[in-house]
Amino acid sequence: MKVEAIELHRLAIPLVRPFETSFGRQTGRDVLLVKVLTDIGEGWGECVAMADPFYSSEYVAGCEDVIRSYLAPALLGAGEVGAEAASALFSGVIGHRMAKATLETALLDAQLRAAETSFGGYFGATRDHVECGVSVGISPTIEQLLDEVQGYVAQGYRRIKLKIKPGWDLAPVAAVRELIGDLPLQVDANTAYTIDDIPHLRELDAFDLLLIEQPFVEEDIRSHIALAAAIETPVCLDESIVDAALAIDAIERGATSIVNIKAGRVGGYLEAVRVHDACLAREVPVWCGGMLETGIGRAANIALAALPGFTLPGDTSASDRYFAEDLTEPFVLENGTLAVPTGPGSGVTVRDELVAAWATRPVETLRG
Ligand code: SMG
Ligand code: MG
């Protein structure tokens, strides 16, 4: 295909309830969408970066700038290009994986819509529904946390993930474990601990957790190896896994025995499939992470989560977990699962009127 123009859309979308992690509290999403206009049709991509560089070094305004200044000009000047060629085309730019993933996904959407192939079909999905978990933020009180968790259990979620940080870990985990009986439970620290906390983190072994996710900083593989050797609860990396080679290295060194796959973090869905394949070959279970995506990103995540190595429920919750109204037709929980879209490309239709209504500034159109 040939990319004729790239539209940058910037939106503000309120969350149905605040979401608090070890690094901050969020009440809305600052969303960057890209739409590629090509000679074979259009495609959408959603940038998963957060408004601030607190989860990872990338952030929305930075992604927008790197797309505008580097990635879009490369694509608009490339002539004939397929989604599979995007990462090589962008390879001169170091890092900025979430920005690269946004454009690659839009290209893939346009390409697969034209080919009448779904994301799931293209990725190699083997299921038509995926099991869903839900990520639960840090609460003002344990009572409020239990109330929120109870609501998700009642909706049918198959697994609960609790955000933890120093001072909000053993007590809330104990209370939730008591509330939910043997429903699968896991925790995510978003890098809030240090190697000195290993004796404390070992106390989590009492709660029969599926895993503990990313206790230490992204670059600190060594401390994760030490924790994995000291604790019975499996250690799972999120922020640290930025590509398939790193996943293989972390697995072989004993830093992670389960992997959270997020396409944005690894530079796109094509690399995400490679991470999946590498883990499957090593019998390491994977699950699909989430970045509070709207229906646009959620559709692609659900297609990814339908691959055979995704044996644990993902952070692939229903649209109403975060949004009163979604940018696409809503994803609705069915017996704790979501249906994998089957239509061409992402399989969802972007609601142009909502994109316009929630815009925080006029659409910017980039041309070669
Ligand atoms: O999409 O349900 C979702 C969010 C899941 O907890 C979630 N994501 O570290 O895994 C993670 C976080 C990153 C975003 S926190 C603002
Ligand atoms: Mg995480």
pLDDT tens for each residue of 35-89: 999 999 999 999 999 999 999 999 999 999 999 999 999 999 999 999 999 999 9
37 CA from centroid of ligand 1 (Å): 30
Q: Band of the pLDDT at 363, cuts 50, 70, 90?
A: very high
Tokens of 129: 């529904």
Joined together, the tokens standing for residue 125 give 């999905």
Residue where the block lists tokens 């659409």: 363
Mean pLDDT of all residues belonging to the chain: 98
Confidence category of residue 126, pLDDT binned at 50, 70, 90: very high
Q: Is the pLDDT of residue 101 over 90?
A: yes
pLDDT confidence of residue 189: 98
Pair of tokens at residue 66:
């790197």
Rounded CA-CA distance 197/346 in Å is 42
Q: How confident is the model at residue 326 (pLDDT cuts 50, 70, 90)?
A: very high
Mean pLDDT of 191-216: 98
pLDDT confidence bin for 223, thresholds 50/70/90: very high
- The pLDDT, as a whole number, for residue 270 is 98
pLDDT at 224 over 90: yes
Span from the CA of 367 to the centroid of ligand 1 (angstroms): 34
Residues contacting ligand 1 via CB (< 6 Å): 21, 26, 50, 55, 135, 188, 190, 238, 289-292, 315, 317
With 90 as the cut, is the pLDDT of residue 218 above it? yes
Provide mean pLDDT across the span 208-222: 98
Three-class secondary structure assignment of 284-314: CCEEECCCCCCHHHHHHHHHHCCCCCECCCE
Question: Residue with the nearest Cα to atom 5 of ligand 1?
Answer: 290
Rounded to an integer, the average pLDDT of 228-255 is 98
Q: Which of 27, 188, 193, 293 to mutate to test the pocket of ligand 1 (most atoms within 8 A of CB)?
A: 188
Q: Are 107 and 80 in contact (CB under 8 A)?
A: no
User: What is the rounded distance in angstroms from the CA atom of residue 360 to the CA atom of residue 368?
Assistant: 25
Distance 136 CA to ligand 1 centre (A): 9
In the structure, what pLDDT confidence band is assigned to residue 108 with cuts at 50, 70 and 90?
A: very high
Respond yes or no: is residue 161 known to be catalytic: no
Dihedral over alpha carbons 280, 281, 283, 284 (to 10 degrees): -60
On the question of pLDDT at 231 being above 90, the answer is yes
Given this model, what pLDDT does residue 12 score?
Answer: 98
Average pLDDT over residues 211-229: 98
> What pLDDT sits at residue 14?
97
Residue 277 has pLDDT above 90, yes or no: yes
**From the candidates 2, 100, 163, 165, which is the catalytic residue?**
163
Closest atom of ligand 1 relative to the 134 alpha carbon = 2
Task: Find the ligand nearest to 318 CA.
Answer: 1
Summarize pLDDT for 143-182 with one digit per residue, the tens: 999 999 999 999 999 999 999 999 999 999 999 999 999 9
CA of 55 to the centre of ligand 2 (A): 9
Residues 6+ apart with CB under 8 A from 146: 175, 176, 179
Q: What share of the chain is helix, strand, coil (3-state, %, to 5)?
A: 35, 25, 40
Return the percentage of the chain with pLDDT > 70, whole number.
Answer: 100
Burial classification of residue 197, based on how many CB atoms lie within 10 Å of its CB (0-12 exposed, 13-18 middle, 19 or more buried): middle
Question: Under a CB-based contact definition with an 8 Å cutoff, are residues 259 and 247 in contact?
Answer: yes
Can you give the pLDDT at residue 368?
86
Would you state the structure tokens that stand for residue 138, as one six-digit string?
A: 């840090």
Given the residues 35, 100, 161, 262, the one annotated as active site:
262
Q: How many whole angstroms separate alpha carbon 190 and alpha carbon 233? A: 17
Report yes or no: 304 and 273 within 8 Å, Cβ to Cβ: yes
Mean pLDDT within 226-251: 98
Neighbours of 121 (CB within 10 A): 17
Catalytic residue list contains 100: no
229 alpha carbon – ligand 1 mean position (Å)? 26
Question: Atom 9, ligand 1: which residue's CA is nearest?
Answer: 190
Give the global pTM.
Answer: 0.98
Phi-psi region of 347 (alpha: psi -120 to 50; beta: other; left: phi over 0): left
Per-residue confidence (pLDDT) for residue 91, from 0 to 100: 97
Residue that is written with structure tokens 């995007």 in the block:
86
Closest of 357, 362, 305 to residue 327, by C-alpha? 357
Identity of the amino acid at 152: Y
Ligand 1 atom closest to the CA of 19, numbered from 1 = 16
Ligand nearest the Cα atom of residue 51 = 1
